[in-house]
Amino acid sequence: MFYHILRTSFSTAAGLTLRCNVTGRDNLPRHSACIVVANHVNLLDSPVLGVRLGRKVYFMAKEEMFHPRIIGWLAEQFGAFPVIKGRINRRAGRTALELLASGQALMIYPEGKRTEDGKLGPAYTGAALLAMKSGVPIVPVGIIGTSQLKGKWWFLKRPIITLNIGQPFTLSASSPEKFSKEETARNTREIMMHIAELLPPEYRGRYTR
């Protein structure tokens, strides 16, 4: 119940302060497991995705967000769980796989942090490893416009935010038990390429075909 209260509150606030366009909403599975991957520019990316994707999404969030405890509790109510920055520890990995096994949608920012210039940067391998282990489809999302959400009075301008939801895809995996570094790196780049295709060329960084 508290999740729905939070979601309704965020949705109302977003409607009053943002003009949000969502394309490709039908690409996101409604009831089956998937991993949603996106670029990350602003701290508000997660709340925007949480209220505009159309289904409950669980988030991996850096461990520091859960301190102080009240902030961590609110994050947990909204579907977040902690992960050590830069890598998926065993506990976070187990939680992620359990969520996917139960048919949930898991949200991951492969870059592991926000980018200052909005361009896609180097990605960690966690998203690829989880997709290869679970076998669930990946849904790429390109977030455009949240770089405007800064300063004290940004909400007076009601900036336009666009969420481009791409078509689901799956990764190949040679072995369900152990993956080579080369295979994992190749699949990580494949994930980033799918995100890049949903962004304007100037924000794709190193990820161009």
Per-residue pLDDT band at 171 (split at 50, 70, 90): very high
- pLDDT over 70 (residue 83): yes
User: pLDDT value at position 111?
Assistant: 93
pLDDT of residue 185: 94
What pLDDT, in 10s, does the model give residues 124-134? 999 999 999 99
Taking 60 as the threshold, does the pLDDT of residue 86 lie above it?
no
| Cα–Cα distance, 100 to 190 (Å, whole number) | 21
Q: Residue 161 burial (CB < 10 Å; 0-12/13-18/19+)?
A: buried
Highest-pLDDT range among 41-55, 174-188, 191-205:
191-205
- For the chain, what is the radius of gyration of the CA atoms? 16
> Which residue has better confidence, 59 or 197?
197
Greatest C-alpha distance within the chain? 52
Q: What pTM does this model have?
A: 0.89
Burial pattern 104-135, b for ≥16 Cβ within 10 A else e, equals: bbbbbbbbbebbeebbbbebbbbbbbbbbbbe
Model pLDDT, residue 63: 75
Confidence of residue 100 (pLDDT cuts 50, 70, 90): very high
Q: Which two tokens stand for residue 116?
A: 């200052």
**What is the dihedral sign for C-alpha 108, 111, 113, 114?**
negative
Determine the residue type at 46.
S
Cα distance between residue 205 and residue 13, in whole Å = 32
Residue 174: band (very low, low, confident or very high) from pLDDT cuts 50, 70, 90: confident
All structural domains of the chain: 2-8+16-203 (3.40.1130.10)
pLDDT of residue 121: 93
